[in-house]
Amino acid sequence: MALHGIDMPASRLATAHLTERAIQQHDADAALALLERSIALRHRRIALIRYLLAQRLGAALQSRHHDYVHDVAARLSADALSRIVSAAQERSRL
């Protein structure tokens, strides 16, 4: 499958479509789906970025989402957390 002329596996293509919907169309459901994927795959930093996007878009976050990112954030330095927040802000401007 291809997105903008680039071949990629189906799961990456699905993620790319969700990312496009979340960022360009401000789709809270897509942002939540990305967060769910990150949690399922045990991502840390990208889960925090996706959490912040989902939160900004007003997604229906549950306590397990908050708990997951709280646990991740608790293991990071203040500097690392600041860089992640900056990355999330930059992504949301796209």
pLDDT digits 0-9 by tens, 24-74? 999 999 999 999 999 999 999 999 999 999 999 999 999 999 999 999 999
Tens-digit pLDDT profile for residues 24-35: 999 999 999 999
Tens-digit pLDDT profile for residues 11-25: 899 999 999 999 999
Position 80 in a domain: yes
Position 53 in a domain: yes
Position 61 in a domain: yes
Residue 1 predicted with pLDDT over 50? no
The total domain count for the chain is 1
**Tokens 């045990």 map to which residue?**
42
Q: Which residue has the higher pLDDT, 88 or 68?
A: 68
**How far, in Å, CA of 75 to CA of 10, rounded?**
32
**How far, in Å, CA of 80 to CA of 1, rounded?**
35
Identify the domain containing residue 84 by its residue range.
7-92
